[in-house]
Chains A and B, each alone.
Chain A
Amino acid sequence: MGISNIWVFSQESNGTATSGTLELLTHARTLGGSVTAFVGGDASAIAGILGEYGATKVYATGDLGGALPGAAVASAMKAVIDGGDSPDLILFPQNYEGRDVMSRLSVKVDRTVLTNNVAVAVDGDTVTVTTPVFGGNTLVSTSFSGSAPYLAAFRPKSFAAESAGGGAAEVAAAPVPDLGSTGGATVTAVHVEESTGPKLDEADVVVSGGRGLGEADKFSMVDDLAKILKGAAGASRAIVDAGWVPYSMQVGQTGKVVKPNVYIAAGISGATQHMVGMKGAKNIIAINKDAEAPIFGVADLGIIGDVHKVLPKLIEALEGRG
């Protein structure tokens, strides 16, 4: 009894395991039970690091040949489960691939999914996950009922990644079965939006702009301030939806989760959707015209004022320091 067999849906990026994968593997080790990494793709490049962070076994589907991972990886997981290796709990990263795979698998095994979590606890056979709601003001803990496997997705940075010093894990093939009518979605070209400076979700300083900037051109102020502070520029969903900046800059529920040393919100009101992506910042500075804006509720320093007046002066003052 208890939770003895835990899987982590593991992803590769640029030849190594993603930070989200390492966070989940690290936390999985603390839950009691064996930890298995399940890779959609070829695992030869990352089997070493997956083992180092705690996986004692790695399943790999092999190259997906451009197929979108949702149906393919879920079918491969289902085949392993039907073959007799049935996990009690599967941890997924809260991102595109994680969501697609867990959704498909959920129907195949007829089990619920719990998403947007930041914590998980195991007590005997009971698995409880916690998700912040209402912009993070309220924490709702939910237990799975019925029988395993339990499927849960976690937001980035919910756990710290720490090496366990383990050796390379044994890799077992988990080929993708014939997908029948659910196959056919194929990637034909990949486009990467180039950005300079530190990555948004890793930067020590993040400066984000929102609708209060008034027009797309004014985003250059946010860019300039980010550059001076050697940080990354981010954005609220409102101006991403409006097409001012690419989606890769979006901070929030449906975008990136950032936990920088300082987060500067310029012209952002602080919708729930945005706050969950930046509330973890150590220091928050907000500039907004509306004194009632919810962003002031989380700000360590709040300036009630016009970003068009405050930002140029701030940039000038910082540039003056050389």
Chain B
Amino acid sequence: MKVIVCVKQIPDPALPGELDPSTNTLKRDGKLILDESDSYGVEMALQLVDAAGGGEVALVSMAPNDEMSGMRTALAMGAAQGLLVSDPALAGSDALTTAKVLAAAVQRLGGADLVLAGTESSDGYTGTVPEQMAEALGLPSVTFAKKVTVDGSTLNVDRQTEAGYDEVTCPLPALVSVTAGVVEPRYPSFKGIMAAKSKPVETVTAADLGVTPVGWEGSGQAVASVEQAPAREAGTIIEDDGESFGKIVEYLETIKVI
């Protein structure tokens, strides 16, 4: 079984995010790490390939500056190879262009029985790229999977809904987006980290993939303005002295909740 996982490399979410004042888009020029949301897809892929009795997990990613440290993390977890699309022309690309580029990257790797992605990235969270990729690849898809098993050429998925979950079946090949928490991502072992350094990662441009136009030129959107939201008035912050519950009771009385 061959599984391709989409991995995004993002600025460390622990650091405050920042907009580039010249473009009003998210700054992504520093060190990038593997989006935690994608570590679930990588783990899921490794488990499914194991359960199928063999196969390969490959990665596709789009990132500036030939950045591949996040991909190396996924390779250290056990993925076999990667394809990185890195191209200054891609700066400013919208979600649709990103999906077209990643779909072309999947095709360059020869396609797969299953394409996995997170439901949305932790930095831009547009949340449409997986389903857009499925359409571009002509695949059926199941989004928001919280449990995935494969039975021959059929996928069985528990898909999150507003009220609970649905059981969904889907023929392979297909694309699935997985929610955080769907599996417990493994920590890369020392051996895995060493092995990842020599695993093949091919770097290509948008033109190599035949996707045009891209970047600002291909984007169907432009930032019109950036404003600070009206701040909430500062509240009362107190240290618990053992009796602070009384302040909460008082507050609830003031607003007539009790």
Residues of the A chain whose Cβ atoms lie less than 8 Å from the Cβ of B225: 140-141
Whole-angstrom distance between the Cβ of A124 and the nearest chain B Cβ? 13
Whole-angstrom distance between the Cβ of A221 and the nearest chain B Cβ? 12
Q: Mark B128-139, 1 if CB is under 8 A from A, else 0.
A: 111110111011
Asked if A70 and B248 make an inter-chain contact with CB atoms under 8 angstroms apart, the answer reads no
Highest count of chain A CB atoms <10 Å: which of B125, B140, B226, B228: B140
Residues of the A chain whose Cβ atoms lie less than 8 Å from the Cβ of B246: 317
Residue B219 CB within 8 A of the other chain: yes
Residue B22 CB within 8 A of the other chain: no
Residue A186 CB within 8 A of the other chain: yes
Asked if A145 and B181 make an inter-chain contact with CB atoms under 8 angstroms apart, the answer reads no
Residue B221 CB within 8 A of the other chain: yes
The total number of A-B Cβ pairs within 8 Å is 260
Asked if B168 and A68 make an inter-chain contact with CB atoms under 8 angstroms apart, the answer reads yes
> In the docked arrangement, what's the CA distance between A134 and B164, Å?
29
Asked if A115 and B235 make an inter-chain contact with CB atoms under 8 angstroms apart, the answer reads no
Asked if A103 and B132 make an inter-chain contact with CB atoms under 8 angstroms apart, the answer reads yes
Residues of the B chain whose Cβ atoms lie less than 8 Å from the Cβ of A106: 95-96, 128, 132, 135
Asked if B140 and A183 make an inter-chain contact with CB atoms under 8 angstroms apart, the answer reads yes
Asked if B239 and A304 make an inter-chain contact with CB atoms under 8 angstroms apart, the answer reads yes
Q: Contacts A247-B179, A301-B235 given: A310-B245 contact, CB under 8 Å? A: yes
Residue A56 CB within 8 A of the other chain: no
Asked if A140 and B248 make an inter-chain contact with CB atoms under 8 angstroms apart, the answer reads no
Asked if B160 and A138 make an inter-chain contact with CB atoms under 8 angstroms apart, the answer reads no
Q: Contacts A96-B144, A142-B223 given: A305-B169 contact, CB under 8 Å? A: no
**Which of A108, A114, A285 lies in contact with B248, CB distance below 8 A?**
A285
**Which of A145, A181, A317 lies in contact with B219, CB distance below 8 A?**
A145
Asked if B143 and A96 make an inter-chain contact with CB atoms under 8 angstroms apart, the answer reads yes
Asked if B258 and A283 make an inter-chain contact with CB atoms under 8 angstroms apart, the answer reads no
Which residues from 42 to 83 on chain A have a C-beta closer than 8 Å to any C-beta of chain B? 68, 70-71, 74
Residue B2 CB within 8 A of the other chain: no
Residue B198 CB within 8 A of the other chain: no
Asked if B229 and A248 make an inter-chain contact with CB atoms under 8 angstroms apart, the answer reads no
Asked if A229 and B258 make an inter-chain contact with CB atoms under 8 angstroms apart, the answer reads yes
Residue B24 CB within 8 A of the other chain: yes
Which residues from 185 to 204 on chain B have a C-beta closer than 8 Å to any C-beta of chain A? none
Residues of the B chain whose Cβ atoms lie less than 8 Å from the Cβ of A196: none
Residues of the B chain whose Cβ atoms lie less than 8 Å from the Cβ of A180: 138
Residues of the B chain whose Cβ atoms lie less than 8 Å from the Cβ of A145: 219-222
Residues of B in contact (CB 8 Å), total 80
Residue B141 CB within 8 A of the other chain: yes
Residues of the B chain whose Cβ atoms lie less than 8 Å from the Cβ of A304: 237-240
Residue A136 CB within 8 A of the other chain: yes
Asked if B181 and A137 make an inter-chain contact with CB atoms under 8 angstroms apart, the answer reads no
Asked if B135 and A107 make an inter-chain contact with CB atoms under 8 angstroms apart, the answer reads yes
**Which of A71, A138, A291 lies in contact with B19, CB distance below 8 A?**
A138
Whole-angstrom distance between the Cβ of A273 and the nearest chain B Cβ? 8
Residues of the A chain whose Cβ atoms lie less than 8 Å from the Cβ of B231: 137
Residue A185 CB within 8 A of the other chain: yes
**Which of A68, A132, A262 lies in contact with B257, CB distance below 8 A?**
A262
Asked if B165 and A191 make an inter-chain contact with CB atoms under 8 angstroms apart, the answer reads yes
Residues of the B chain whose Cβ atoms lie less than 8 Å from the Cβ of A183: 140
Residues of the B chain whose Cβ atoms lie less than 8 Å from the Cβ of A303: 237-240, 244, 247-248
Whole-angstrom distance between the Cβ of B23 and the nearest chain A Cβ? 12
Q: Contacts A104-B131, A301-B235 given: A182-B169 contact, CB under 8 Å? A: no
Asked if A186 and B135 make an inter-chain contact with CB atoms under 8 angstroms apart, the answer reads no
Q: List 22 A-B contacts (CB under 8 A).
A: A68-B159, A103-B129, A107-B100, A112-B220, A113-B95, A115-B126, A140-B226, A145-B220, A145-B221, A182-B140, A185-B141, A187-B168, A191-B165, A205-B257, A254-B120, A261-B257, A285-B251, A296-B235, A299-B237, A300-B251, A304-B238, A314-B245
